[in-house]
Amino acid sequence: MRLTQGTFSFLPDLTDRQIRDQIQYCLDQGWALSVEYTDDPHPRNTYWEMYGNPMFDLRDATGVMAEVASCRTTFPGQYIKVNAFDATRGVESLKLSFIVNRPDREPGFGLSRQEAEGRHIRYAVHSYATDRPAGERYG
Amino acid sequence: MTVQTDRTATHDTPPESNARYRSGVMEYARMGYWDPDYEPKDTDILALFRITPQEGVDPIEAAAAVAGESSTATWTVVWTDRLTAADVYRAKAYRVEPVPNSPDQHFAWIAYDLDLFEPGSIANLTASIIGNVFGFKAISALRLEDMRIPVAYVKTFPGPPTGITVERERLDKYGRPLLGATVKPKLGLSGRNYGRVVYEALKGGLDFTKDDENINSQPFMHWRDRFLYGMEAVNRASAATGEVKGHYLNVTGATMEDMYERAEFARDLGSIVVMIDLVIGYTAIQSMSAWARRNDMILHLHRAGASTYTRQRSHGVSFRVIAKWMRLAGVDHLHAGTVVGKLEGDPNTVQGFYNVLREPHNPIDLARGIFFEQDWASLRRVMPVASGGIHAGQMHQLLTYLGDDVVLQFGGGTIGHPMGIQAGATANRVALEAMVLARNEGRDIWNEGPEILADAARTCTPLRAALDTWGEVTFDYTSTDTPDFIPTATPA
Amino acid sequence: MMTTAVPSDEAGVESDEANLDLDLGAALSASPIEALLATLDAELIGLVPVKTRIREIAALLLVEKLRGRAGLSSGPPSLHMSFTGNPGTGKTTIALRMAEILHSLGYVRKGHLVAVTRDDLVGQFIGHTAPKTREVLKRAMGGVLFIDEAYFLYRPENERDYGQEAIEILLQVMENQRDDLVVILAGYRDRMDRFFQSNPGMNSRIAHHVDFPDYTPDELGAIAGLMLEQLQYRLSPDAGRALTEYIERRRTQPHFSNARSIRNALDRARLRQANRLFSDRGATALTRDELMTLEAADIRASRVFEIPEDEGG
C-alpha cells in the first residue's frame, strides 16, 4: 500500500528541488518548519518523533533541507514529514505537512471488527509495522 | 390596514412626548423610529435592509416602518409604551440611501438595542428581524442584506463545535482544500450499495463522502442500514490508505428525538461527522450544535431550502446573513457556493460569504457585499463547502476563488467518472495536489492551470480521462445575487 | 564543490560573440548595483578607502557574472570577507549594504544580515556548541552572517574551549556551501590579524580584507551635522566651535568609538538642552528656533572638557 497522509501523497514522490520549493514557500509565509519521523504511521498517531525543535526565523530553505537530509541519513527506512506551523492568532496550527521519506515496503494496516449487540460493530485499525518491535520495523 | 403617510411631514422634528402618545395612527418616523442623528452603540445590533417602498411611500417613512415593525411598534399608538423605557427599545433607522442603479430601492440602516434579544438564541433574533416585517404592506419588497452582531451578543453563542483549525488537526490534513463527494443517485440505493460508493470514493482519495439532504430514512434504505454500511466503508478506506476519513451521516429526522437517536448511533459507530439540513430550523440546529460539542463531532450543515429566500435580490435574506447566523448557531461546515459550478454564485458575493464564515474579523467590503465591520471575537471558523457541478478541470479556478479552507465536493465529478468511482476520486485528488504544489512554487495557476493539469495527467490516467470527459463543461449563467458596489479603479 | 566552466545550456551561443552582452556599462546600469553604490556614497561620510574596496568587489563580482555568460572560466568566487577597524567606523552598516549588493548580483538568495557574537555560536557545555552554531547558520542561509569580534571564538589559553568547535563548523560551511551564505568576520585590526595567524584555515577562506580607518575630525564633524539634520536639531555658531573642540579632545581619550561616540555625545547634548529649556522657562512660550538649537553650554558641560588635553590618549 501507499500511505497517503500529507499534502502531496498522491503525486509521485517529490524531488529535493520540489521539497525545497515548498519549504521556501512556507518560510516566505513566515511559518516555522519542523521535521518529524516515525515507524508507526497509524492514522491516529498524532505525535511522530521530533527531529529537533521547530526552526524559527529562517529565511532560506537550505537550513531545513539540511535537517531533512540529516534525518534521512539517520532514519532511512522510516516515514519522515516536514511540517509548517503558523502562529497567527486564530490558526496557531499546521498550515502544511507533507511526507519527504517513506520506507521501501509499506505494510499498511489491517481492520479488525468486533460485533456487538444490534448489528453494532466496533472497528480498530491496526498498523502491521507494529507487529515487530521498534527498531526492527521496515528492516 | 395601510398606514397613510403624510409626505410633507418633516422627519427631523422630534415629536413632543404628549403628542407622541396621543391615540391614533402616526407615521413611524414621527414615532421615533427614524433618528438621523443616532450614533450606533458598540453593543447595538445593526441591520441593513434593502427596501422597495410601495409607490408613493417616502423611503424614510418606509425605513422607519421597518424599524418599528421589527422592534416594538404596532400599527397604532399604544399607551402601554409609556410603562417602558420605550426610547431604548425602539429600533432606530438612522440612515437611508438610494441603491446605486436601482431607482425604486433604498438601503436602510437600522440599530437595535442589545436588550431586545434573548442571549444565544437565533430563533429570537430572527423572530424580530425577519418576523412580521417582511409581509408589511407599505413596502412591496424587503431584503435583509447584512447584519453587524456586536461582540457582546456574539459572546452569548458558543459557536462552531469544532472549527476549521481543530477539524484539520483531527483529520491530520493541512495545506489544501478537503475533498468530498455526495453519494449519487440521491435516492433509491440500498444500504449495501450505498456503502460501496462511499468505500470506492474514500479509498480513491477523497476525505469525505456525504449523504444528500433528502436522504433520511426511506423505504429503500432505513437510516440504520445506511449508517452501518457507511461506517464499514469509512473504516475500510481508512485502513486502506492510512488516512482519517469521514462520511457525513445525515441525522435529519422528523423530531429532535429521532435526530438525537441517529446522532448517538453515528457516534457509537465511530463517525467523526454528522450532518443536518437547514430546514430543521434554527432551534434544532442549535440543539444539534450543543450535542456535537458534547460529543466532539464535526457538524455539517446542508443549506437545503436557503435559496427560497436568499436568491432574489429584492426580497428575502442575503445568504451572508444566514452565514453569520449559522456561525453563531454553531455549525462546522456550511454550503456556501462554488462560483464556477451549477448553482447560483457571483464570485465577489460568494467570496463575501466565505469571508464571513472563516475570517476572525470582517472589514467593510462593499465589493463583496459586506456592509458592516464584524468582529467575531474568537468564535471558531466555519469550513465552507463548495458543492454542485464542479469537476477536476476547474481546479485552478476553484483554488484561486475559494482558497485552501474549503471542502470541494465533486459528486457527479467523482461518481460519474468513466473509469469508475475510485478513478474519479483519484483524478480529483491528483488535480488538487498538483495545483497546490504549483501554486506554492509560485506559478500563475489562473493562467497556467490547464497546462498544470495536463502535466499531472501524464502520470495519472484517471485525471486524463476526467479532463477528456468534463474539460469543457461550464455553467455560464448570469448571477441574480450580485454586489451593488462595483469597485472602480482609482486614477494612478 | 566543482563547477563546470561552461554551463551546458549556454554552450550553443558560446561561439557567437555578437550575441553576447559584454558591455560592462550596460550591464552595470541594468543592475541596481550603481544605485546601491550611489546610496552608499551619499549615506556614509568619508570611508573613502572602504567605498573603493566595496566598489572593486562589486565590479569583480559583476565581471565574474559577465565572464560566466561569455563562457569564460568563472568558478563561484569566494566571497567571505573580513572587516577590520575600530568601533564605530561603519562595519555593520557596510555589511548591511554588502548583503544588498550581493543579493542584487544574485550571489545570495535573500540578502538579509544575521549579526552575531561568540555568545550566539558557542555553548557552555559539551555538545551545546554544534546545535547553537547550526541554528545560527540555518537562520543566515541565503544571506550574510556577520560575526562581530570574531577572534573571541578562539581562546588559545584554554585548549578545551568550545569556540574551536564553532570555528570548525564555520569553516566547513564556508568551504562547502559558498552558494548558500557569505560570512563576514569583523573586529579590531590587530586582534584579527593574530586570529588569522593562529587560524590559517580561516585566513585562506577569506577572499576580501577590508580595513576601516578611523574618521578624521572633519569627517566626524560632518557625521554630527548629518545626524543633527536627521533629528531636526542645529548648532549655534558657538556650539559648532565647541563641538569641533569636543571632537579633538574626545578622539584622544580612551574608549573612543568614532561615529558611535558622536551619536552618544549628541544624545547627551539633547538631554542638557532639554533640561536647560525646562529650568530657564519664562513667561513667554518657547520658539521653534529655541527648541531646535543646541548651545555651546550643552556641549561644553561634557566631562570630556574636564580632562586636561595633554592627559588624554
pLDDT digits (tens, 9 = 90+) for A60-78: 999 999 999 999 999 999 9
Rounded CA separation A27/B482 (Å): 37
Please indicate if any CB of chain A lies within 8 Å of the CB of C130: no
Nearest to A97 among B175, B244, B426 (CB): B175
Span B94-104, average pLDDT: 93
Span B100-110, average pLDDT: 94
Q: Does A60 sit within 8 Å of C110, measured CB to CB?
A: yes
Nearest to B242 among A10, A108, A119 (CB): A108
- Top-confidence residue, B7 or B299: B299
Whether the pLDDT of residue B4 is over 80: the answer is no
Q: Name the 3-class secondary structure at B89.
A: helix
- Min Cα separation B218/chain A (Å): 20
Q: Are B289 and B299 in contact (CB under 8 A)?
A: yes
**Which residues of chain B does A43 touch, with a Cβ-Cβ cutoff of 8 Å?**
172, 238, 242-244
To 10 degrees, what angle do helices B461-470 and B445-457 make? 130
Span B158-172, average pLDDT: 97
Query: In whole angstroms, what separates CA B306 from the centre of its chain?
Result: 8
Nearest to A59 among C131, C134, C141 (CB): C141
Rounded CA separation B313/B319 (Å): 11
- Quote the longest CA-to-CA distance of chain B: 83
Residue type, B141: A
Strands C182-187 and C208-212: unpaired
Is chain B adjacent to chain C, meaning 3+ CB pairs within 8 angstroms?
no
Rounded CA separation C88/C212 (Å): 10
Whether the pLDDT of residue C12 is over 70: the answer is no
Nearest to B165 among A4, A93, A122 (CB): A93
> Where does the pLDDT of residue B223 fall: very low under 50, low under 70, confident under 90, or very high at 90 and above?
very high
> Where does the pLDDT of residue C304 fall: very low under 50, low under 70, confident under 90, or very high at 90 and above?
confident
Q: Are B319 and B310 in contact (CB under 8 A)?
A: yes
- Give the DSSP H/E element, type plus range, for residue A127: strand A121-127
Please indicate if any CB of chain B lies within 8 Å of the CB of A59: no
Query: In whole angstroms, what separates CA B285 from the centre of its chain?
Result: 13
Rounded CA separation B204/B107 (Å): 49
Report the complex ipTM.
0.96
Chain-wide mean pLDDT for chain C?
85
> Which chain A residue's Cα is nearest to B434?
A11
Q: pLDDT tens digits for B381-393?
A: 999 999 888 899 9
C-alpha cell of residue A32: 516555522
> Where does the pLDDT of residue C308 fall: very low under 50, low under 70, confident under 90, or very high at 90 and above?
low
Dihedral angle, C-alpha B55, B59, B61, B63, nearest 10 °: 120
Span C256-280, average pLDDT: 90
**Which residues of chain A does C109 touch, with a Cβ-Cβ cutoff of 8 Å?**
60
The pLDDT value given to residue B474: 67
Q: pLDDT tens digits for B278-302?
A: 999 999 999 999 999 999 999 999 9
The pLDDT value given to residue B489: 41
* Chain C interface, best mutation among A60, A64, A70, A71, by max C CB count within 10 A: A60
Whether the pLDDT of residue B26 is over 80: the answer is no
> Where does the pLDDT of residue C11 fall: very low under 50, low under 70, confident under 90, or very high at 90 and above?
very low
Q: Does B433 sit within 8 Å of A10, measured CB to CB?
A: yes
Residue B14: cis peptide before it, omega within 30 degrees of 0: no
To 10 degrees, what angle do helices B223-241 and B256-268 make? 30
Torsion sign across C-alpha atoms A111, A112, A117, A119: positive
> Which chain A residue's Cα is nearest to C134?
A63
- Residue entry with cell 577590508: C210
Q: Does A9 sit within 8 Å of B426, measured CB to CB?
A: no
> Where does the pLDDT of residue B144 fall: very low under 50, low under 70, confident under 90, or very high at 90 and above?
very high
Whether the pLDDT of residue C190 is over 70: the answer is yes
Nearest to B260 by CA among B233, B289, B238: B289
The stretches in chain A having pLDDT less than 50 are none
The pLDDT value given to residue B435: 98
Nearest to B163 by CA among B306, B279, B326: B326
Task: Name the burial class of residue C42, with classes exposed (0-12), middle (13-18) and buried (19+) by CB atoms within 10 angstroms of its CB.
Answer: exposed
Our CA angle for C129, C82, C251, nearest 5°, is 110
**Which residues of chain C does A55 touch, with a Cβ-Cβ cutoff of 8 Å?**
135, 138
Q: Name the 3-class secondary structure at B375.
A: strand
Q: Are B68 and B61 in contact (CB under 8 A)?
A: no
Whether the pLDDT of residue B277 is over 60: the answer is yes
The pLDDT value given to residue C2: 31
- Min Cα separation C212/chain A (Å): 29
Q: Are B211 and B277 in contact (CB under 8 A)?
A: no
Nearest to A44 by CA among A115, A109, A137: A109
Chain C residues 169-198 with a CB less than 8 Å from chain A: 177, 180-181
Query: What DSSP string runs through B332-372?
Result: SEEE---SSSSS---HHHHHHHHHHHH-SEE--BGGGTB-S
* Chain A interface, best mutation among B162, B172, B176, B262, by max A CB count within 10 A: B172
The pLDDT value given to residue B141: 94
Q: pLDDT tens digits for B336-358?
A: 988 887 666 788 999 999 999 99
List, in sequence order, every residue forming a beta bridge with C113; answer none if it has no partner: C144
Q: Are B175 and B436 in contact (CB under 8 A)?
A: yes
Share of chain B above pLDDT 70, in %: 91
C-alpha cell of residue A122: 466496533
Query: What DSSP string runs through B256-267?
Result: HHHHHHHHHHHH
List, in sequence order, every residue forming a beta bridge with B147; answer none if it has no partner: B47
The 3-class secondary structure across chain C, one letter per residue, is CCCCCCCHHHHHHCCCHHHCCCCHHHHHHHCCHHHHHHHHHHHCCCCHHHHHHHHHHHHHHHHHHHHHHCCCCCCCCCCCEEEEECCCCCHHHHHHHHHHHHHHCCCCCCCCEEEECHHHHCCCCCCCHHHHHHHHHHHHCCCEEEEECHHHHCCCCCCCCCHHHHHHHHHHHHHHCCCCCEEEEEECHHHHHHHHHHCHHHHHHCCEEEEECCCCHHHHHHHHHHHHHHHCCEECHHHHHHHHHHHHHHHCCCCCCHHHHHHHHHHHHHHHHHHHHHHCCCCCCCCHHHHHEECHHHHHCCHHHCCCHHHCC
Q: Does C143 sit within 8 Å of A59, measured CB to CB?
A: yes
Whether the pLDDT of residue B172 is over 60: the answer is yes
* Chain A interface, best mutation among B171, B178, B224, B235, by max A CB count within 10 A: B235
**Integer angstrom CA distances of residue B211 from A123, B276, B311, C254:** 21, 10, 24, 82
Chain-wide mean pLDDT for chain B?
91
Q: Are C94 and C81 in contact (CB under 8 A)?
A: no
Chain A residues 68-107 with a CB less than 8 Å from chain C: none
- Beta carbon pairs, A and C, within 8 Å: 35
Q: pLDDT tens digits for C106-132?
A: 899 999 999 999 999 999 888 899 999
Whether the pLDDT of residue C42 is over 70: the answer is yes
Task: Name the burial class of residue B46, with classes exposed (0-12), middle (13-18) and buried (19+) by CB atoms within 10 angstroms of its CB.
Answer: buried
The pLDDT value given to residue B25: 65
Region of C138 (left: φ > 0; alpha: ψ -120 to 50; beta: rest) is alpha
- Min Cα separation C15/chain A (Å): 32
The pLDDT value given to residue C13: 39
Q: Does B242 sit within 8 Å of A1, measured CB to CB?
A: yes
Span B1-15, average pLDDT: 45
- Residue entry with cell 486564530: A90
The pLDDT value given to residue B78: 81
Q: pLDDT tens digits for C13-31?
A: 344 444 455 566 666 666 7
Q: Are B366 and B483 in contact (CB under 8 A)?
A: yes
> Where does the pLDDT of residue C4 fall: very low under 50, low under 70, confident under 90, or very high at 90 and above?
very low
**Integer angstrom CA distances of residue B266 from B8, B225, B300, B304:** 64, 11, 13, 21
Please indicate if any CB of chain A lies within 8 Å of the CB of C145: no
Chains in contact with chain A (at least 3 beta-carbon pairs closer than 8 A): B, C
What residues of B are labeled active site? 184, 302
Rounded CA separation C260/C223 (Å): 10
Share of chain B above pLDDT 90, in %: 75
- Min Cα separation C132/chain A (Å): 12
* Lowest-pLDDT choice from A1-5, C59-63, C91-95: C59-63
What is this structure's pTM? 0.85
Dihedral angle, C-alpha B441, B446, B448, B454, nearest 10 °: 100
Q: pLDDT tens digits for B71-80?
A: 887 777 788 8
Q: Does C109 sit within 8 Å of A63, measured CB to CB?
A: no
The pLDDT value given to residue C309: 56
Q: Does B241 sit within 8 Å of A3, measured CB to CB?
A: yes
Under 8 Å CB-to-CB from C8, ≥6 apart: which residues?
A: none
- Give the DSSP H/E element, type plus range, for residue B309: helix B307-310
Whether the pLDDT of residue C187 is over 70: the answer is yes
Nearest to A41 among B242, B269, B270 (CB): B242
* Chain A interface, best mutation among C108, C138, C139, C174, by max A CB count within 10 A: C138
Our CA angle for B117, B120, B126, nearest 5°, is 55
Nearest to B169 among A1, A93, A108 (CB): A93
Rounded CA separation B127/B310 (Å): 17
Rounded CA separation C197/B287 (Å): 79
To 10 degrees, what angle do helices C217-231 and C258-279 make? 50
**Which residues of chain C does A57 touch, with a Cβ-Cβ cutoff of 8 Å?**
139
* Lowest-pLDDT choice from B108-117, B302-311, B450-459: B302-311
Rounded CA separation C96/B109 (Å): 54
